[in-house]
């Protein structure tokens, strides 16, 4: 799997989202959109109407990360609206299999996210139901937090579980990913890298994406 970079607009200027999306167009593989509802996480961001507007303004595929209390109710709507990837949290879903299948049925890639304290082992049987596993490297809710090193062993175990399964499941990391931390994430087996502050906090977001990509590519171990 080639390295993919997904800049998070959580660190962008919310009053100028179309312009902010344009700054990474043709450079980023995805645009990461963090949906938060004040319940699953102690922060509130945006919802379906904003995602629908973004879809009209950018050609970059949208990677929706739903940090909401009731993903079973809402996730399929994001897929139907045209988000190319929709990720739900394992801790929030009450019917993960049904919801992941509904996301796929609506034509999107289905992602499953795990908080730092959630073990990956309990989700081994869900591998055939997902296109991407998201290992959170901060507690979800806010951008600009410090990368949690304690998650690294889980990231390696997640890579091993995916390899053992043998299907094509991408491994995404989200939280505190920067020039300081991206190489060790790549070494541990991540292949999709979300970066908020490291991209939108930079003077030149497009250059920041290119820099992160080259660091991750150099650190990615050969796989066969």
**Binder among 45, 118, 145, 156 for ligand DX5 (CB under 6 A):** 145
**Burial group, residue 111, by CB count within 10 angstroms (0-12, 13-18, 19+):** buried
Give 46's DSSP letter: -
Instruction: Tell me how far, at minimum, the Cβ of 8 lies from Zn ion, in Å.
Output: 6
DSSP summary character for residue 108: S
Tokens of 116: 């730092």
Query: Is residue 122 close enough to count as binding ligand DX5 by CB under 6 A?
Result: no
User: Which one of 5, 11, 33, 34 is in contact with Zn ion (CB under 5 A)?
Assistant: 34
The helix/strand count (H/E) of the chain reads as 8, 8
**Nearest one of 154, 160, 159 to 116, comparing CA atoms:** 154
Q: Is 77 a catalytic residue?
A: no
According to CB under 6 A, which one of 71, 76, 111, 175 is a site residue for ligand DX5? 175
d(CA 71, CA 89): 8
Identify what 159 binds: Zn ion, ligand DX5, none; CB under 5 to 8 Å per kind. none
Q: Does 174 contact ligand DX5 by CB under 6 A?
A: yes
State the catalytic residue, choosing from 34, 37, 63, 131: 34
Return the range that interacts with ligand DX5 (CB under 6 A); candidates 20-28, 73-81, 124-132, 196-204.
196-204
Of 13-21, 61-69, 115-123, 183-191: span binding Zn ion (CB under 5 A): 61-69
Shortest distance, position 120 Cβ to Zn ion, whole Å: 18
205 binds ligand DX5 (CB under 6 A): no
What does the DSSP assignment read for 47-72?
-HHHHHHHHHH--SPEEEEEE-S-HH
Catalytic residues: 34, 174
């Amino acid at each position: 799997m080639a390295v993919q970079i997904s800049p998070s607009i959580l660190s962008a200027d919310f009053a100028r989202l179309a312009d902010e999306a344009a700054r990474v167009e043709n450079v980023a593989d995805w645009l990461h959109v963090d949906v938060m509802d004040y319940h699953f996480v102690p922060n509130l961001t945006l919802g379906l109407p904003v995602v629908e507007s973004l879809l009209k303004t950018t050609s970059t595929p949208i990677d929706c990360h739903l940090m909401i209390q009731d993903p079973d109710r809402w996730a399929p709507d994001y897929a139907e609206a045209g988000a190319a990837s929709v990720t739900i949290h394992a801790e929030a879903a009450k019917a993960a299999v049904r919801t992941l299948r509904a996301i796929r049925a609506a034509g999107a890639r289905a992602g499953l996210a795990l908080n730092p304290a959630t073990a990956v082992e309990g989700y081994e049987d869900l591998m055939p139901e997902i296109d991407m596993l998201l290992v959170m490297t901060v507690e979800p809710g806010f951008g600009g937090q410090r990368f949690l090193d304690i998650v690294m062993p889980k990231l390696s175990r997640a890579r091993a579980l995916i390899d053992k399964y043998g299907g094509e499941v991408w491994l995404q990391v989200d939280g505190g990913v920067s020039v300081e931390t991206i190489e060790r994430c790549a070494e541990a087996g991540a292949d999709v890298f979300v970066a908020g502050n490291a991209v939108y906090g930079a003077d030149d977001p497009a250059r920041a994406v290119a820099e992160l990509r080259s660091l991750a590519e150099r650190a990615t171990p050969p796989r066969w």
